[in-house]
A and B are shown apart, each in its own frame.
Chain A
Amino acid sequence: MSGPLLAIRDLRVDFATEKGTVRALFGVSLSIDPGETVGLVGESGCGKSVTALSILRLLPSPPAIVRGGEILLRGENLLDLPEKRMCEVRGKAVSMIFQEPMTSLNPVLTVGEQVAEVFTAHRECGRREAAARAVSWLGKVRMPDPERRAREYPHQMSGGMRQRAMIATALALEPSLLIADEPTTALDVTIQAQIMALLQEMRERERMAVLLITHDLGVVHDFADRTAIMYLGRIVEIAPTKGLFSDPIHPYTQGLLASLPGKGTGTARLSSIPGAVPDLSSVPPGCPFADRCPYRQAALDRFRGGADSRDSLGICDREDPPLFEYAPGHFAACHYQRAMRGGGAS
């Protein structure tokens, strides 16, 4: 192995809005190894989709401005590539599937034509061969009766079949990285299971890396090797999936896991995170989670009694905590946990 397939380093993205500049990503770093599946989890507005779209440079700009950082694909910075080269990267090296397959497929082209277009657009082969390859790919994604379905239009298909067609277009050029943005959110439970099973099978067969973006912790639990939790434009915790679920460190991760319903039937109240995700346009200084954090007061008390109490007073409200490694590959960004568990090491 020669390093990661994709390495995002300190990515900063702003949005210029009516009410002024809003920071969407506050220095996101994330790497994906070849063949690895990384889950990116967070609530709406946390920046997970912005991260995904910036990898493919698909963020609509005017509003979006990349302020800094780099996105290295096999060592090559995608942010510096001319648009023409970027077009080759899209689809061929990195491809993407979206939440709503109805709006991401063109309603006036047949499904077969849309899969075939991938080949002709990248000048892989002629029209006739492209059409044949399209049918074979529809078969590979378990589209029932691919010959006939290839001649149908998206509206004639169910949500599950459309998502299969999307996956066929995304995988047709055998990319080394697939970005799946909420691939099953719009689907029914039983269809979700089908699509996730298909993605798992394709990932193993093609030895493809997957960046799985979702709000559903259950989905990453079952499919991701590593999981990153995002909150307000930052990664607040990233760890091997098992470690994240067995020993969550960041209070936000803990809160998310605790607030999942359905672990037992019951009369029990769910533990919930107080308050709501703040508006990105009014993020307070310091730790982004501070105003909803159960540890903030404890951190205040603890640090107040410390030796250099004046310096550490209200550190949660003052300083954005950096990521700190607690176990191999398990990083979290929390002042309190660092003081409690991490000792003073680097």
Chain B
Amino acid sequence: MSGGIRRPDAGGTLLALSNVYKAFPARKSFFSAEVVSVRAVDGVSIDVPRGKTLGLVGESGCGKTTLGRIAIRLLAPDAGTIRFEGLDITHLSGEALRLTRRRMQIIFQDPYSSLNPRMRVRDIVGEGWHVHGIARGKELRERAERLLVRVGLTAEAGGKYAHEFSGGQRQRIGIARAIALSPKLVVADEPVSALDVSVQAQILNLLKDLQEEYGMAYLFVSHDLRVIRHMSDQVAVMYLGKIMEHGPSAELFREPLHPYTRSLLSAVPMLGNAPQERIVLSGEIPSPTAPPPGCRFHTRCFMAQPVCAEVCPLLREAAPGRFASCHFVG
């Protein structure tokens, strides 16, 4: 192992991100040479408990996808630490990183671009086995076929190419690939948002069954509150690179604390609230290249006071186990 520091397992925490920052350079406009920085993740700390699901919800540009990729070190953070099974993996590289990656996997949103069109399905699913020398040749083929059957495809699927399958079936292939190495953590990045409703339910059920069977933890990234509610034990709500609220799913959906969470929940059709009582936020989501000062949400908040434009609220424990970053909560 490399120079990571081991520390005792903190209360069943599998993955702990603390104070993570990530910014991307971006051209201000197509013709301008001026480079601005997009603060995709702006000081985020979250824990993913072992064998449980942390739902990460937010609107486009809130940094949830970036955070998901940082969690499994597909991206390196600018600052902050990532601990996985108590081991600091923030600066792992080379062989040590490759070995760690066996235990953390990802499922992508787009079932079309996430499967190599020039590879047979069994080679896609078994790539990890091949790379880590676990199984090759005939054994790889047989194991891949068993796994494909487990995720609801047929053994014959192994000999075909990805383009011969429908979106839902492709997503099953992506799931098989993710669980092939028996990971401890799977980042599911909008795994059902490209699928039709009736197929969505099949995939969500499959993910739940597999979690039970293999005891994996999910970091479940989605913009769809209904899906998040169904899948998650814990939920973190992101807005413009920051966590607005964090807490147990049931309580968060029953009684949201942060004004942003409240308006998000009320904006979703058919989550139990009548359209008349809906909080419709005014204004647009500000650009992450120029986030507003103070509280990120104050430009659209129905509770905003002068202090909100000046002081950025910290994420505080407002009730046992429930955290919100708002001056007027808790």
Contact = CB atoms under 8 A, between A and B. Distances in A.
Question: Quick check: do A and B touch in the complex, using CB within 8 A?
Answer: yes
Interface of A: 43-44, 144, 158, 160-161, 188-194, 196-197, 215-219, 221-223, 255-256, 258-262, 265-267, 269-274, 276-277
Contacts of A158: 284-285
B204 interface: yes
A43 B263 contact: no
Given A218-B270, A261-B204, A265-B250, A194 B226 contact: no
Of A161, A255, A265, A269, which is in contact with the most chain B CB atoms at under 10 Å from its CB?
A265
User: Chain B's interface: helix, strand, loop or mixed, by majority?
Assistant: helix
Interface stretch (B138-146, B192-200, B319-327): B192-200
B201 A216 contact: no
Contacts of A266: 230
A294 to B, nearest CB: 13
A172 B226 CA distance: 35
Of A158, A190, A217, A272, which is in contact with the most chain B CB atoms at under 10 Å from its CB?
A190
A272 B226 contact: no
Interface string B262-278: 01101111110001001
B154 interface: no
B285 A189 contact: no
Contact of A276 (B199, B226, B268, B270): B199
Contacts of B90: none
Interface of B: 59-60, 166, 168-169, 196-202, 204-205, 208, 223, 225-232, 249-250, 253, 263-264, 266-271, 275, 278, 280-285, 300
Contacts of B264: 189-190
A44 B111 CA distance: 15
Q: Which 8 A-B pairs give the minimum distances between C-beta atoms?
A: A262-B226, A218-B269, A259-B201, A272-B201, A261-B230, A188-B59, A193-B267, A218-B270
B200 A261 contact: yes
B250 to A, nearest CB: 5
Nearest to A274: B202
B278 A273 contact: no
Contacts of A190: 59, 263-264, 267, 280-281, 285, 300
19 contacts: A43-B197, A43-B198, A188-B285, A189-B225, A190-B280, A191-B284, A192-B267, A193-B280, A218-B268, A259-B200, A259-B201, A261-B201, A261-B226, A261-B227, A265-B229, A265-B232, A270-B204, A273-B201, A273-B202
Contacts of A273: 198, 201-202
